[in-house]
Amino acid sequence: MDATATKKKIVVKTKDASPKSETIMVTGSYLRSSNNSSANPVQVITAKQIQQTSAISLGDYLQRLPSIGSSGTPNQQTNGGGGVSCTDIRNFGSKRVLILIDGKRTAINAATSCVDLNTIPVEEIASVEMLKDGGSELYGADAVSGVINIKLRHDVTKATITMRGGISQYGDAKTGLLSAMKGFNFDHGRGNVTLFGQYNTSGGIMSQDRAWAANPQQTNPVTGTPVYGSSIIPAGRVTNPITGANLVSNGDGTFHRYSNADRYNFAKDTMVQNYNQNSALSGDAHYDVDSHFKPYANVRYSHTTTARQMAAAPVSGGIKPSPLLSSWTIPAGSPYNIWGRDAIMSRRMNDLGPRKMDYATDTWTVIGGAKGKIWRGWDYDASMTYGQSQYTANTQNMGNYRHLLQMTGVRQLDPTNPASKIVYDPTVCTSQPGCVLSNPLAPLSPAAAEYGKFTQHDHAMYQLRDFNLRINNSNVAKMPWQHGGDLGIAFGMEHRSEQLSSKPDPIVIAGDSTGNATSYTGGGFNVNEVYAEGQIPLLQNAFLAKDLTIDGQGRWSDYNTFGSTKNWKVSINWAPVRDIRFRATLGTSYRQPNVYELYGGQQLGYPSAVDPCASLSNYGGAQAAAVLARCNAQGINPATFVSQNTSQVPTVSGGNVKLQPESGRTYTIGTVVTPRWVPGLSASVTYWHYSLNNTIGTLTTQYILDQCYTGADTSQCGAIAARSVSQQLTSVSAIYQNLGGIRTSGIDFDLDYHVRLTPHDGLTISNNMQQLVSYLQQNVPNGQWYNYTGRLFYQGGSGQPRVSDYAQATWQHDDFSFTYMMRYIGGMVWNNGVTDVTPKTGGQYKTPGIFTHDITLGYRLNRWNFEAGVSNLFDKKPPFVMDTSTNTNIYQYGSLIVGRYAFLQAGISF
């Protein structure tokens, strides 16, 4: 166990007032032991540590910790995030970390592949335990990088009410929280009922309200002025079919030549942080009939809503597999066509209004079970968990591309072919109720705008059923030799099933949206599992062996989709004396594709990426020559070609039923020091190493384009759809597939120290630091290994800082407390997934190390607790990152978007 956990030795008083260690169950084992004797690297986070920060959700707090990577989904992800907060460990992604609540699985969000941490009320959390060396051998699939076990408050006997409010220095990002808890015992303490409710909101932020995000930068030239904004503009842009010149409509039938001065600043209508609202209710009850039968039940419900806004839909054509025209074209016979030939156009449909997304998710988790003693130290815990998540997404002001074509009199001679010949035919509009014939390059009338847009309604549902039986005995028999300890054994069985269904809007299914066409999808799987653990204390209280324990764990799983597999872990824990402990673990992992990766519906996103034919300067030497040759072969002259994709290429993602499982191996080696001569001090060092094979993931859009156009891997060309008539990229397919592998290693340094300064003063210090030694990734099977250590995926991806640190110090003086918190993120070089940006290829190519500072004041007055705090005390701005949409990297620096933020909290217990 790491330093955070080791310092928390629990003490109980016996009748003679002498202390003794209490045995508890710590995440990573089903056997009870003292809290500082586990070989597994477990970090324990207390409720107080969370509440001393400005975090209003658990996900916001976890972002502070060095072992938490930036491959999750933060609340700041306003483009495709689904309105959820998902975490990860070691940058393995949220799908490879298992989230448990009180040691049991819980329902995940119906629109994503993770547990939404926005749904877990922070005021209900008693502590959080993070197992950071995998856990598939004990907890099953998903626990590849580790396990986060959230322990809730139980056996409450008082009433507690907490109120909190906060606001940024800019007057936005307003937060509010109101929670209440009441518990009571009955039947002389044999039973308890605890009820909890919480309502909290977190305000959104508009991009235009942050100077650094107010105008998205689109290029990163070595010299000269960068380009800002989108090339798809509200006035409309058309290509002269005779000269090939790019023209902009003046709105009166005349045109001027397009230039960068015409580009549109889409940040004016875009949010850089979502608005979130969560209502949560829970009930917990248990009754001890006797020591053999203790039934319990827990019901948790949350209703989460998220709202965000993006600029009006850009329209340049249909997107595969839509049968509609791939390039929006003004027919030669149109009264608005002055050239006498078909003319290709694009336009940002501001007349329809900005796109407003509203997400609502209802999540239920119901647990019922019983536990107790069997016989002579054997205990059992049998439970059944049912979880359900229902998700609804409403997107207002989406463009109906079929209606837009009708309004402009466009008729495809072959309605099934997106490259069809067209003619001008006003009857395609006049024959449709509500359609208004319109000039495609002039403002639309209110009636025309109403016909050209629709509100998109999408639905998804996820279900979990989990039956679990655990049996354990920590004192089966004493080892038959001197100084031998007590043998511990645990085993169990589990049956789990998961199902997913996803139903897009009918207009989307038909391919009529300005997005891509998708279809209903659904499916599921079930698994039967058996697991066991054995713990053998070889020596206890012997010479140079205060404790020498070995532990073995194993799990056999049988999936109805992929057959059976076995996983195991072994560990050794040696304390030659009570002041120092050495520990090591070695284990395997296995992860079958989850229901989202297998059966998730295809959906369209706009990740940051640039068309190689419009950015030849990004390549050098032989690569530039290869890109030029391929573009020329497609009839494109990179010297004059202008991309309409605004550095965001339409990309189709979704499930793949042909996926195969992942497998991996993890080992850790470390030491924990708790010197008797420095009471209250605990320090640990842990080296960790993960290797993962056959990884399930998606290639980045830029990687696919670069590999194809530079000729490095022409097999990727098959993922790029045919270009439109105007030679624009229409879409890139980046569905889930089995890729290559990941190998990563690092060192954790943890320190905790508590010292009593005077009878009235105490000081508590904790520090968690991670030194990343290596992060290697193989993007395709048998492909090249890329070194991402110290790199940041600047086009909207995760970062791998070499050094990251989080420190917290609290001075307590009677009823008054002062807490200081510091976070450091090391500097990183920008990388596009293949190559680093250098001073020769980019005007900016790295981000510096970032320090942020928070403070919190606390005061206790009788039954009242008061807190006031400021986060990001010095208003540190997120560093510039050329992501073409936010001017930073929200995955790595999302916590800095709010700026300086102040909060007040008051709570009463009675």
Give 257-297 pLDDT, tens digit per residue.
999 999 999 999 999 998 999 999 999 999 999 999 999 99
Cβ contact 399:313 at 8 Å: yes
pLDDT > 80? residue 358: yes
Sequence-distant (≥ 6) Cβ neighbours of residue 195 within 8 angstroms: 181, 182, 183, 282, 283, 284
Report CA 70 to chain centroid distance, whole Å: 8
Q: How far apart are CA 79 and CA 106, in angstroms?
A: 26
What would the pLDDT profile of 40-66 be if each residue is shown by its tens digit? 999 999 999 998 898 888 988 999 999
pLDDT > 60? residue 677: yes
Q: How far apart are CA 490 and CA 469, in angstroms?
A: 11
Where is pLDDT greater, at 541 or 647?
Answer: 541
Going by C-alpha positions, the residue among 453, 249, 445, 448 that lies closest to residue 347 is: 249
Going by C-alpha positions, the residue among 622, 836, 612 that lies closest to residue 728 is: 612
What would the pLDDT profile of 544-596 be if each residue is shown by its tens digit? 999 999 999 999 999 999 899 999 999 999 999 999 999 999 999 989 888 88
Q: How far apart are CA 777 and CA 755, in angstroms?
A: 44
pLDDT average, residue stretch 630-634: 93
Q: Hunting for tokens 């000039």 — which residue is that?
A: 439
Q: What is the pLDDT of residue 36?
A: 57
pLDDT > 50? residue 337: yes
Q: What is the DSSP letter of 843?
A: S
pLDDT band, residue 484 (cuts 50/70/90): very high
Q: Torsions phi, psi of 538, nearest 5?
A: -65, -45
Residue percentage of the chain with pLDDT more than 70: 95
Query: Could you tell me where the beta strands, DSSP code E, fall in 153-293?
Result: 159-168, 175-186, 191-202, 205-206, 237-239, 246-249, 255-257, 271-273, 275-287
Residue percentage of the chain with pLDDT more than 90: 70
What would the pLDDT profile of 439-464 be if each residue is shown by its tens digit? 999 999 999 999 999 999 999 999 99
Q: How far apart are CA 424 and CA 409, in angstroms?
A: 5
Q: What is the pLDDT of residue 79?
A: 63
Q: Is the omega angle on the peptide bond into residue 650 within 30 degrees of 0, that is, cis?
A: no
Q: What is the pLDDT of residue 518?
A: 74
pLDDT average, residue stretch 709-732: 87
Instruction: Quote the Cα angle for 268-271-275, to 5°.
Output: 145
The pair of three-digit structure tokens given for residue 401, joined into one six-digit string: 């591309």
Q: What is the pLDDT of residue 516?
A: 66
Q: Cα torsion for 569, 575, 580, 582, to the nearest 10°?
A: -30
pLDDT band, residue 856 (cuts 50/70/90): very high
Q: How far apart are CA 11 and CA 33, in angstroms?
A: 13
Going by C-alpha positions, the residue among 666, 732, 653 that lies closest to residue 696 is: 653
What would the pLDDT profile of 814-839 be if each residue is shown by its tens digit? 999 999 999 999 999 999 888 899 99
Looking only at Cα atoms, what is the longest distance across the chain? 102
Cβ contact 601:393 at 8 Å: no
pLDDT > 70? residue 100: yes
pLDDT > 90? residue 253: no
* Lowest mean pLDDT across 11-15, 132-136, 219-223, 298-302: 11-15
Whole-model pTM: value is: 0.89
What would the pLDDT profile of 600-617 be if each residue is shown by its tens digit? 777 767 777 888 998 887
Q: How far apart are CA 99 and CA 497, in angstroms?
A: 17
Going by C-alpha positions, the residue among 224, 246, 228, 227 that lies closest to residue 237 is: 246
Q: Is 129 exposed, middle or buried (0-12, 13-18, 19+ CB in 10 A)?
A: buried
Q: How far apart are CA 139 and CA 466, in angstroms?
A: 12
Where is pLDDT greater, at 386 or 135?
Answer: 386
Average pLDDT across the chain, whole number: 90
pLDDT > 50? residue 12: no
Tell me the CB-side half-sphere exposure of residue 243, using CA atoms within 13 A: 7
Alpha helices in 737-896 (DSSP H): 890-893
Sequence-distant (≥ 6) Cβ neighbours of residue 138 within 8 angstroms: 28, 29, 30, 531, 533, 553, 555, 569
Q: What is the pLDDT of residue 5?
A: 38
Where is pLDDT greater, at 178 or 24?
Answer: 178
pLDDT > 70? residue 722: yes
Q: How far apart are CA 599 and CA 500, in angstroms?
A: 7
Q: Hunting for tokens 């890329």 — which residue is that?
A: 786
Using DSSP bridges, classify how beta strands 732-733 and 737-738 pair: parallel, antiparallel or unpaired.
unpaired
Instruction: List, in sequence order, every residue forming a beta bridge with 871; answer none if it has no partner.
Output: 901
What would the pLDDT profile of 656-675 be if each residue is shown by its tens digit? 888 999 999 999 999 999 99
Where is pLDDT greater, at 31 or 350?
Answer: 350
pLDDT > 70? residue 646: no
pLDDT > 80? residue 321: no
Instruction: List, in sequence order, every residue forming a beta bridge with 197; answer none if it has no partner.
Output: 180, 281
**Cα distances (angstroms) measured from residue 200 to each of 52, 55, 127, 279, 301:** 17, 12, 20, 7, 14
Q: What is the pLDDT of residue 81?
A: 63
pLDDT > 70? residue 20: no
